[in-house]
């Protein structure tokens, strides 16, 4: 078939011709998890249940924090921001994956693919920034100015912090749109994944993508990696301060509060670090393992975050119990059981 003729007719099969010498695909096909096509229906089960738990858990968490005035404290407001990021991340990724698993509907336009990558990458970065702020919040509450905690972190300051996190994420990811738009996608339009990624899409271009690679590395190092380092420093200072608290009850309460934060941070950054190391050094690892690890980064934290905070945070636990069992009271034995979790 003459490519030039296809161009004149408006482009066929998802590509248009460029200068009569090559093609640039405008439609791509997501395969899901290559190598496990026969098990897509089985794989879709944990995807579906994690999606339901994520949406219901984070929606409930946001509802409780927004409607309960006593929870309008810095820690809970930051937790509400975290739940919102989890919600957005899930609805941008999981429905597309389920459509591939259930209906083999993996066709996606270039613009939609770039939009998906932009939203997911910026939301992931926003969540990383929120976790950093949670660590600093914990440091201020325990070590720095515990008596002036609420006067320092006012609602106005929290709003400014949220806007800063949002702008940092979107401003860092926004140039990637133009870095992808300049490329000519003349290689395969088959993407062996459940979603679109920056380098995963750029590698199908016939252009030099070194700018994409170096800018992507700069973004990761200046945001997520820097966040992890600062979080580590924060909790090192927190532990140093906690173990110098004379009161054992105060020390136990501080450790319990920080423990829930650390669990969320490990759930968020742990799979991402493992995935990165596997991609860089695991050349013998089958491709479907890489894709599964990528999806673990997307599925696990949004699903487990509200569960972890629901168990570890007494105020949220009480509000959840009040919603589902309005006429019941938590007994002393049940409360002691929760405290040991």
* pLDDT bracket for residue 108 (50, 70, 90): very high
Report pLDDT for 15: 42
User: Please, what are the domains in the chain?
Assistant: 27-317 (1.20.1070.10)
Provide the β-strand partners of residue 18: 22
Q: How far is CA 177 from the centre of its chain?
A: 19
Q: Mean pLDDT in the chain?
A: 80
- Cut 0.85: pTM above it: no
**Packing angle between helix 74-103 and helix 110-139, nearest 10 degrees?**
150
Phi, psi of 17 (to 5 degrees): -85, 150
Q: Taking the CA atoms of the chain, what radius of gyration do you get in angstroms?
A: 23
Phi, psi of 131 (to 5 degrees): -65, -35
Report pLDDT for 153: 81
pLDDT at 331 over 50: no
Report the C-alpha gap between 319 and 107 in whole angstroms.
43
pLDDT at 256 over 60: yes
* pLDDT bracket for residue 250 (50, 70, 90): low
% of residues, the chain, pLDDT over 70: 79
Sorted by sequence, the CB contacts under 8 Å of residue 87 that are 6+ apart come out as: 54, 55, 58, 59, 62, 302
Give the mean pLDDT of 72-90.
89
């Amino acid at each position: 078939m003459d490519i030039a003729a296809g161009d004149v007719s408006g482009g066929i099969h998802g590509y248009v011709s460029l200068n009569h010498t090559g093609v640039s695909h405008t439609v791509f096909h997501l395969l899901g998890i290559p190598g496990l096509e026969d098990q897509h229906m089985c794989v879709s089960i944990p995807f579906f249940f994690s999606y339901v738990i994520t949406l219901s858990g984070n929606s409930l968490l946001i509802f409780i924090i927004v409607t309960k005035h006593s929870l309008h404290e810095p820690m809970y407001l930051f937790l509400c921001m975290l739940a919102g990021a989890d919600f957005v991340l899930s609805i941008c990724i999981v429905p597309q994956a389920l459509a591939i698993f259930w209906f083999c509907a993996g066709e996606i336009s270039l613009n939609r693919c770039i939009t998906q990558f932009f939203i997911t990458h910026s939301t992931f970065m926003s969540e990383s920034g929120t976790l950093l702020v949670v660590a600093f919040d914990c440091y201020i509450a325990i070590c720095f100015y515990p008596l002036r905690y609420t006067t320092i972190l006012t609602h106005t300051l929290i709003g400014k912090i949220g806007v800063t996190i949002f702008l940092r994420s979107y401003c860092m990811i926004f140039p990637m749109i133009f870095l992808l738009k300049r490329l000519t996608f003349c290689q395969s339009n088959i993407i062996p994944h459940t979603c679109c990624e920056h380098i995963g899409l750029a590698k199908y271009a016939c252009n030099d993508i070194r700018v994409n690679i170096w800018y992507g590395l700069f973004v990761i190092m200046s945001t997520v990696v820097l966040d992890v380092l600062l979080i580590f420093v924060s909790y090192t200072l927190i532990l140093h301060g906690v173990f110098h608290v004379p009161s054992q009850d105060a020390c136990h309460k501080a450790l319990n509060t920080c423990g829930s934060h650390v669990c969320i941070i490990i759930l968020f950054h742990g799979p991402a670090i493992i995935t990165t190391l596997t991609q860089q050094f695991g050349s013998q690892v089958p491709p479907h393992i890489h894709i599964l690890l990528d999806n673990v980064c997307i599925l696990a934290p949004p699903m487990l975050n509200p569960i972890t905070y629901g168990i570890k945070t007494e105020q949220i636990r009480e509000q959840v119990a009040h919603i589902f069992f309005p006429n019941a009271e938590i007994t002393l034995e049940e409360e002691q059981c929760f405290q040991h979790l």
